[in-house]
Amino acid sequence: MKLGILVNEGPYTHQASDTAYQFAKAALAKGHEIYRVFFYHDGVNNGTRLTVPPQDDRNIVKRWSELAAEHKLDLVLCIAAAQRRGLMDKNEAKRHGKDTDNLAAGFRISGLGQLIETGIQSDRLVVFGD
């Protein structure tokens, strides 16, 4: 089965990101395909490389990056939600006159069209968070 995943909550404010990650990992282990993971609303905060959790806590951003690298997952942040929360790739940072970018490895920024495409191309779109 081809799955799309939508994450609407931040990494440390709600269990949605943890649950989405565990779901994705389990689905891949069972042989399912993940078409795309789309991060929307506060979920875009899963994509910042500036997150530094305590050493005894889980590093959710790193988990997503590693899973993406291992399985060639497409991790997409909504551009409007990301910019509102200060997340930018190199191109957006330059375009807005910012001195740096802050996307974690494996993440990219795109528009809501990517979410629509995910719903069309996937057998199921599984939503985590409000």
Could you give the residue numbers annotated as active site? 78
* Pair 39, 7: CB distance under 8 Å: yes
Q: Where are the beta strands (DSSP E) in the chain?
A: 2-7, 33-39, 75-78, 107-110, 124-128
Buried b (16+ CB within 10 A) or exposed e, 25-55: eebbeeeeebbbbbbbbbbbbbbbeebeeee
Given strand 124-128, what is the order of strands in its sheet? 107-110, 75-78, 33-39, 2-7, 124-128
